[in-house]
Amino acid sequence: MTVIREAREEDTPQIVDLIGLLDHAVDASGVARRMKFLADQGIPQLVATEGDVVIGLCGLHVMVALHRERAVGRVTILVVREDMRGSGIGRRLLQAAEQELRNRGCGLVEITSNQRLEDAHLFYEHWGYERTSFRFMKRLEGL
């Protein structure tokens, strides 16, 4: 039976593996540190589990923007283990994320997705998300 719950420190190695599926190179200590920081801010990260196995991850963030009346929730990462894709896990994580962000007073949910992940774009559009803007990024050196 699949359970959606808040991520725990002991989930970190499996979370690192899931993040790696999206070609992000991260280490367990950094992930654990960031997860704790977000939890201390009252922003849980969600996982889907079957028993002790983490099969999906949904990262959350809450942002206050001057031009928005209510806070903006952001899904920062959504990934499901490859052998579990198509089984409804992503949908369940997304629904749980929307509820969590709604509970935190967010009036809008944003999701960013790498341009190459076309299946993910179709998934988000299927669940009511629309493309509204471009995201630009610049790496800051020396930090």
Contact 35, 45 (CB under 8 A): yes
- Per the model's pLDDT, the better-predicted residue between 129 and 17 turns out to be 17
Mean pLDDT, residues 7-15 taken together? 97
Options 2.60.120.380, 3.40.630.30, 3.40.50.300, 3.10.129.10; CATH of 2-126 = 3.40.630.30
pLDDT at 108: 95
Please state, in angstroms and rounded to a whole number, the distance separating the CA atoms of residues 43 and 38.
5
**Residue ranges of domains in the chain:** 2-126
Please give the pLDDT value at position 53: 97
Question: Which pLDDT score is estimated for 119?
Answer: 76
**In the predicted structure, residue 62 carries a pLDDT above the cut 80:** yes
Indicate whether 115 pLDDT > 70. Answer: no
Range in 28-37, 65-74, 134-143 with the lowest mean pLDDT: 134-143
Q: Is the pLDDT of residue 120 over 80?
A: no
For residue 111, is pLDDT > 90?
A: no
Lowest mean pLDDT among 68-72, 81-85, 116-120: 116-120
Instruction: Give the mean model confidence (pLDDT) for residues 28-38.
Output: 96
